[in-house]
Every structure is written in structure tokens, then in C-alpha cells.
Amino acid sequence: MTPQHGPGAESLLNCRQLTQRGIAAMEQNDWETAEKSLEAAVASCDIDPESRRHYAESLWHRGDRIGATRQLDDAIKLSPDDATLYVRLAEMRLEMNQLGRASLLADEAVDRAPDSAAVWALRGRIKHRAGLTDEALGQYHRALSLAPSDPDILLEIADLYAELGQPRRALANLHSLAALYPPGEAPAAVLARTGLAYQALGREEDAAARLAEASNRPDATAQMYAQLAELQLASGRLADARQTASAGLARFPQHPDAMRTVQRVDAESASAPTGSLR
């Protein structure tokens, strides 16, 4: 049978070429070019869900929430069995604090992909945001059973246990998470959370060691220096806290957390009895 090359086929080919150009621009962080290419892709063939999926991302990046969600709504109409479209739209609705709409979309996603860890993790985030922590844990653990080595799911479970005041369970998940990385390569976020879990368990030396390790990583944040300095202050180690605060300010000179930490340490130092600094 001879393939047809009518206007429809030409439009679809042009759409896909423009979509690929837009994706490449996004990967280069050239969002203006990406949006223009993807807008043209949608205009050239308005029945292609993939062009709308990526166009939505470019609009979302620019802050056009309504435009982005409208594109995904249209993509779902064109491809109603694609669970990933429901997941992404639910994530957007969740970020917009539209919990009810996000929950309905997550339900649609799980109907289409019941074995997807991403879908169950999304349901966990929605339940968590709604304050339904027990239900959130159930959803997260279902996700983890489908993807036991997923670092994002392990981290979300650890954070929820920490929030619930269960540092031992948080620590167990953090240890499982750290084991996924080569020795010495766990992300700073994992190390810092491990330090806070140790602190909650009263293991101050272990806590300080992990927070110090986190602060020395390339992906450290100003908050990690602040957390370490606070721990050192609580332990009466004012000199160490001053050194940590100064290091944090040197690395993040304009960050509010870094500036507040220096002020906090200076205030503690000023009120400390003579000879108490160590």
C-alpha cells in the first residue's frame, strides 16, 4: 500500500521536528526558543499530544500556570490512556494548591497505571499535603514496594517520619537511601537529614559529623550551615559555631539564612560569660 503524504502527514512531520527543536532548546536552558518552537509545533498540528506536553512545560517555566494546565488538559483529551499526562497535570495542580483536582487526576492515573511507583508516590504527596499522614505513608510504601531503590520515594518517606517525630524510622530510610550511592557520594540533602535524625535521637556527635560533611559538599545549602551552627551552639561550642557561621556567610554572602546565623552566633557570643567560649 502506497503511503500517503498529504497535508496531514506533512503537518505532523513539521510538528515533530519543531517539537524536537523545542526539547533541545529546553535542554540547553534556552526557554524562549523552546516556547516559540513548541508553540509553532502545536499550531502546525493541533492533534499531537506530545507537542502539547512539552509546550505545557515551557509555559509552566515562564509562570503561565493557566496556559500550561490548559495544554495538558488538551493533551489528555488527545491521549486519554497516557497516565504520565495525568501525573504531570496533577503535579501542577498540587503546586497550585488545588488538592481536590490533583487528587482526582491521581485517581485517573492509578486506574491507567496501577503498577507505576510514580503514581503512588504522587498520591502520597497529595495525602501528605492534605494532612492525611497515615494515608500518605500507605501510598508511599506502596510506591516503594514497586520501586525499592527510588531515592525520591525513600527521601519523602524519611521526611514524613521525621515530621511525625519518628527519627529512628526516618534514619532507617536515610541509611537505605545513602546505600544507593558509592561511598562518600551521598547528596548533601541526605547527609543533612541524617544529621538531624541523629540529633533528634540525642546522638550529637554523630549529628555534628553528618551536618559538617553535608556543609562541605558542593551541593550544600546555607540552611545546612545554619543547622550545624545551631547544633554547635546547643552543645556550648561557640567557637565552632562562629567558624561555621563565618564559613556559611563566605559561601552564601547574600543568603538570609547565612546572615541570620552570623547574627545569632554573635548574639550568643556577646551574652556568654567570659571564658566560656570554646
Domain at 187-273, CATH homologous superfamily: Tetratricopeptide repeat domain (1.25.40.10)
Locate 96 and state its grid cell. Answer: 497550585
Quick one: pLDDT band at residue 4, thresholds 50, 70, 90?
Answer: very low
Q: Where in the chain is the domain with CATH 1.25.40.10?
A: 46-128, 187-273
Largest CA distance in the chain: 94
Quick one: pLDDT band at residue 1, thresholds 50, 70, 90?
Answer: very low
- Give the residue-averaged pLDDT of 232-253: 96
Nearest of 235, 237, 264 to residue 249 by alpha carbon: 264
Nearest of 54, 53, 4 to residue 31 by alpha carbon: 54
Confidence (pTM) = 0.86
pLDDT exceeding 90 applies to what percent of the chain?
Answer: 92
Residue 250 CA to residue 264 CA, distance in Å, equals 16
pLDDT in tens, 104-145: 999 999 999 999 999 999 999 999 999 999 999 999 999 999
CATH 3.10.180.10 given to domain 46-128: no
